[in-house]
Amino acid sequence: MKDKRTLDIILIIVGAFVAAFIIATVVIYTVKGWQYDVLIPCVVGGGVLEAVNTAFITVNKIKKGIKQSDEEEDFNNDVVG
């Protein structure tokens, strides 16, 4: 349950950043009269930011889970044997 909560919080933060960036960029570009060239597609990147963050968090949690289960197994073996 806690794992899902952490992932949700991180993704909400990333989503808020992307939304704020897009709004600020649209306002600045409109006021200055600039063209929307490459900046927004590079930052938003078709959801790559969210995918990379999600993958990083998931891989770290899996590694942490594997380490915890190994430590618990070693502890149980020491207690029993």
Tens of pLDDT along 8-60?
Answer: 787 788 788 888 988 998 899 889 988 877 777 777 776 677 778 778 888 88
Q: Which of 54, 44, 40 is nearest to 12 (CA)?
A: 54
User: In terms of residue numbers, what domain contains 22?
Assistant: 2-80
Exposure string of 44-54, with b = 16+ CB inside 10 Å and e = fewer, is beeeebbeeee
Whole-number Å distance between alpha carbons of 10 and 39: 23
Report which of residues 6 and 79 the model is more confident about: 6
Provide the domain count of the chain: 1
| Residue 27: per-residue pLDDT | 92
Tens of pLDDT along 49-58?
Answer: 777 877 888 8
